[in-house]
Amino acid sequence: MLKTLFRHPAELSSTEMPPTGDGLTAESPSPAISKPAAEAPQFNPKVCWWKNADWLAKFDRHIQPDGFGGRFHPHRILDRRFTLTQFARTARSLRGSTAECGVFKGIGSALICETLRGTYHESERHFGFDSFEGLPETGANDGQWKRGDLADPVTTAQEHLAEFPFVQLVKGWLPATLAVARQHRFRMVHVDVDIEQATWDCLSFFYSRVVSGGLFLIDDYGFHSCPGARQATEAFLQDKPETLIELTTGQAAFFKR
């Protein structure tokens, strides 16, 4: 089972590669994939995390859908998944609900819930917000994204998250749907909506509701395919005291003061 996660990108034919949403398609694979170095590993072979059997055993079944039917995602998404779980761990000792804005198939939410399993008090929830109809009308700063991209029916996420009774999926358009969570306090918010307006709306709604020491993880900040997400994050934090940490994975995080 685990082995399927670690297929080398060189093993993928161009027709096997799924659309990636970052401008690279099966017809235009990245140079690194079309001309892989003979022995190039997926990750730095000297670094331990991607061979951590304990971590893989715990999260493997949640991450499998990233593998596009057993094939490993060519863009090394596993490092983002690992980073998400590591940041989620920082919220274990805090009180509050958690949220993911942009749920898609439910993988990110499952990783958050698995990491924080056993720490949700009775009134605390993991909220998952998504249209489950893909992106809304996009803006001038949203690169190649267009309305309807990333659509996946809510049933996919529901099935994937069924084992977590504290999950509340909220189907509909942001920011209107956020109202259901207005009375909650949050310890972690995963913002993964790819586009400028929704990123701004989510940061605006959750900022005052996240407890001190709680965290925001913005999945799309460092991706050239999501310039709007970066712009919204930077504009939002301009007059705030928090320091944004840009990560090598393309994610960025800040801890609420």
Q: Is 100 a residue that touches ligand SAM (CB under 6 A)?
A: yes
Instruction: Quote the least distance from Cβ 131 to ligand SAM, whole Å.
Output: 4
In the list 181, 195, 210, 229, the residue contacting ligand SAM (rule: CB under 6 A) is 195
Looking at the Cβ atoms of 157 and 210, the one nearer to ligand SAM is 157
* Residue 210 contacts residue 125 (beta carbons within 8 Å): no
CB 192 within 8 A of CB 102: yes
Q: Can residue 188 be called a binding residue for ligand SAM (CB under 6 A)?
A: no
Binding positions for ligand SAM, 130-169, rule CB under 6 A? 130-131, 134-136, 150
Q: Near ligand SAM by CB under 6 A, which window of 28-36, 53-61, 160-168, 194-202?
A: 194-202
What's the angle, vertex CA 243, arms to CA 242 and CA 249, rounded to 5? 130
Smaller CB distance to ligand SAM: residue 150 or 245? 150
Closest CA to 42 of 1, 3, 69: 3
Per residue in 179-206, is it b (16+ CB within 10 Å) or e — as a string? eebeebbbbbbbbbbbbbbbbbbbbebb
Binding mask 196-215 for ligand SAM (x = CB under 6 A): --x-----------------
Q: Tell me the number of residues near ligand SAM by CB under 6 A.
A: 20
CA atoms within 13 A on the CB side of 43: 19
The reply on whether position 67 binds ligand SAM by CB under 6 A is no
Which of 9, 29, 96, 108 forms a contact with ligand SAM (CB under 6 A)?
Answer: 108
Transcribe 154-210 into DSSP letters: HHHHHHHTTT-TTEEEEES-TTGGGGGGTT--EEEEEE---SHHHHHHHHHHHHTTE
Minimum distance, C-beta of residue 37 to ligand SAM, in the bound complex (Å): 29
Q: Of the two residues 16 and 137, which places its CB atom closer to ligand SAM in the complex?
A: 137
The residues pairing with 245 across neighbouring beta strands, listed in sequence order, are 253
Contact with ligand SAM (CB under 6 A) among 50, 82, 104, 236: 104
**Minimum CB separation from ligand SAM for residue 171, in Å?**
9
Contact 167, 113 (CB under 8 A): yes
- Positive or negative torsion for Cα 232, 75, 106, 18: positive
For the chain, the farthest-separated pair of C-alpha atoms sits apart, in whole angstroms, at 55
Is 249 strand, coil or helix? coil
Q: Which lies closer to ligand SAM via its Cβ, residue 161 or residue 195?
A: 195
- Residue ranges that bind ligand SAM, judged by CB under 6 A: 100, 102-105, 107-108, 130-131, 134-136, 150, 173-174, 192-195, 198
